Amino acid sequence: MRLFNVLSPEEVRRIIRTTVAPLPSEIVPIDQAGGRVCSERVLSPEDLPSFTRSTVDGYAVYSQDTFGASDAAPALLNLVGEVRIGELAPSMERGSTIYVPTGGMLPEGADAVVMVEYTDVLGDLIQVLRPVSPGENVIVKGEDFRKGDLVLEPGRVIRAQEIGALSALGVHRIAVHVRPKVAVLSTGNELVPYETISLRAGKVRDCNAPMLMELCRKKGALPRYLGILEDDPTEFRVAIQKALQDSNCVVLSGGSSVGTRDFTASILDELSGGNLLVEGVAIQPGKPLLLAVCQGKPVLGLPGHPVSALSSFLLFGSYILDRLQGRETPEYHPSVQAELALNVPSKPGRTDVVRVKLSRAVGTCRGVSKGTVEWQAIPLFGRSGVLHTLTEADGFILVPPDKEGLQEGEFVDVLLYGYTQYE
């Protein structure tokens, strides 16, 4: 049996950060850029808005003309025209006013708009009942973005609002990192393809591959199923080399037996030029993790049990896909604060990943910070070969290595499957 050095999850992430480099860029239309990672600084090509606009329905004024105006002593202005929305506004002089609809261009000369609610019409005269200050009820040309302003930095994920802002600025194409092509392979002589209808005795459907491919897709990667490898070193070496040829990343799962784990580690060590980076993480489940960079491409070896495979992929595989796409992963993690419903035992010295189900707490919870914790986290214990605790779970908690378990009633941060930075 190979002896190896077990690393902390933080060390593994640090290794990933320092050894996995972003893939090249490609140019995509912005309406197809959602979820992709920006690879170049985007500067504003023009002022936004491109003209000073009214934000209300009202009358454009020289603000000085309204100073001191009130119901008792309205300012009287000559109505000299109307701005039509989407059209060029006329200019105007002091003492006059022009009607402007919301979004309409402010006439040259005017510096504010009085809301229609604070005016009265007297034939060709407009009575202004309240003063406005300069700039009131207008958005000034370039107020949102000035030509040359930084709009987007490399490493930022393109969300709906970035698509909106780029669209508004007339930026129609954007440079993003290419989607990583991920080869997904499973090892184990007991496995048959997951499409198999009837199982022969002793056989098990390969459920890790479709599960891991879904996690890859959620991360913006392009997974490809390369099938099941027999537990045979020679076949294995050839298959990995083939997988490396047209992928940016290889994800293996399986090989839970000691013999398979050993030869997998040896072959990855060999293919990476003696640079097997990770051979075990102080985490439960998911200890027997392998990571090597072969031909500049990360190869991740996940444990075979589905719970361990999913858990390890979320913590490390997703991070590899973030790095390949150049994503600057924020260090905060959205979570639901909940009260632990049961004691959770844990060995000090390792991080425990505990699946939990959320349930509405009924009056048992103490208040915390701004209100009360409304949720209870019910730990789902179960072996890592068992899938139903994963489908029942809403999320997971991380028990840090300096803790000997968590107590019933403690507050925990539940990371929800489907809503974490890990996915």
Residues 226-255 that bind a second copy (CB under 8 A): 231
Q: Which is nearer to a second copy, 232 or 270 (CB)?
A: 232
Minimum gap (Å) between residue 246 Cβ and a second copy: 20
How far, in Å, CA of 8 to CA of 397, rounded?
A: 17
Residues in contact with a second copy, shown as a per-residue x/- string from 42 to 61 under the rule CB under 8 A: ----x-xxxx-x-x-x----
Judging by beta carbons within 10 Å of its beta carbon (0-12, 13-18, 19+), is residue 200 exposed, middle or buried?
exposed
Residues in 268-297 at the binding interface with a second copy, rule: CB under 8 A: none
When binding is defined by CB under 8 A, the residue of 130, 205, 242, 287 that contacts a second copy is 205
Tokens for 116? Answer: 């229609």
Return the SS3 of 173. strand
> Residues 111, 62: contact at Cβ < 8 Å?
yes
Q: Binding of a second copy at residue 342 (CB under 8 A)? A: no
Determine the residue type at 80: V
Q: Binding of a second copy at residue 333 (CB under 8 A)? A: yes
Q: Which is nearer to a second copy, 214 or 404 (CB)?
A: 214
Of 284, 166, 304, give the one whose Cα is nearest residue 231: 304
Residues in 379-418 at the binding interface with a second copy, rule: CB under 8 A: 383, 385-388, 390-391, 393-394, 410-418
Of 70, 49, 51, 54, give the one whose Cα is nearest residue 115: 54
Please, what's the largest Cα pairwise distance for the chain? Answer: 97
Q: Binding of a second copy at residue 420 (CB under 8 A)? A: yes
Contacts of 205 (CB under 8 A, 6+ apart): 191, 192, 193, 194, 196, 199
Residues in 107-166 at the binding interface with a second copy, rule: CB under 8 A: 116, 139, 143-145, 149, 151-152, 157, 159-165
Tell me the window of 59-67, 96-104, 264-272, 344-352 that interacts with a second copy (CB under 8 A): 96-104
Q: Which is nearer to a second copy, 145 or 294 (CB)?
A: 145
Q: Binding of a second copy at residue 4 (CB under 8 A)? A: no
When binding is defined by CB under 8 A, the residue of 70, 91, 102, 372 that contacts a second copy is 102
Q: Binding of a second copy at residue 37 (CB under 8 A)? A: no
Q: Binding of a second copy at residue 103 (CB under 8 A)? A: yes
Minimum gap (Å) between residue 188 Cβ and a second copy: 6
Determine the residue type at 364: T
Size of the site for a second copy (CB under 8 A): 113
Transcribe 59-122 into DSSP letters: EEE-GGGGTT--SSS-EEEEEEEEPPTTSPPPP--TTEEEEE-TTPBPPTT--EEEEGGGEEEE
Between CA 362 and CA 369, with CA 363 as vertex, the angle to 5 degrees is: 115
Identify the H or E element spanning 278.
strand 276-279
Q: Binding of a second copy at residue 336 (CB under 8 A)? A: yes
Q: Binding of a second copy at residue 18 (CB under 8 A)? A: no
Q: Binding of a second copy at residue 88 (CB under 8 A)? A: yes
Q: Which is nearer to a second copy, 143 or 270 (CB)?
A: 143
Q: Binding of a second copy at residue 188 (CB under 8 A)? A: yes
What is the DSSP code (8-state) at residue 229?
E
Minimum gap (Å) between residue 342 Cβ and a second copy: 17
Tell me the window of 6-14, 30-38, 232-240, 344-352 that interacts with a second copy (CB under 8 A): 30-38
Minimum gap (Å) between residue 201 Cβ and a second copy: 4
Minimum gap (Å) between residue 29 Cβ and a second copy: 9
When binding is defined by CB under 8 A, the residue of 24, 72, 86, 363 that contacts a second copy is 86
Question: Cα Rg for the chain, rounded, in angstroms?
Answer: 31
When binding is defined by CB under 8 A, the residue of 31, 71, 82, 93 that contacts a second copy is 31
Determine the residue type at 342: L
> Residues 321, 220: contact at Cβ < 8 Å?
yes
**Is the sign of the CA dihedral 64, 68, 69, 73 positive or negative?**
negative
Q: Binding of a second copy at residue 190 (CB under 8 A)? A: yes
Q: Binding of a second copy at residue 299 (CB under 8 A)? A: no
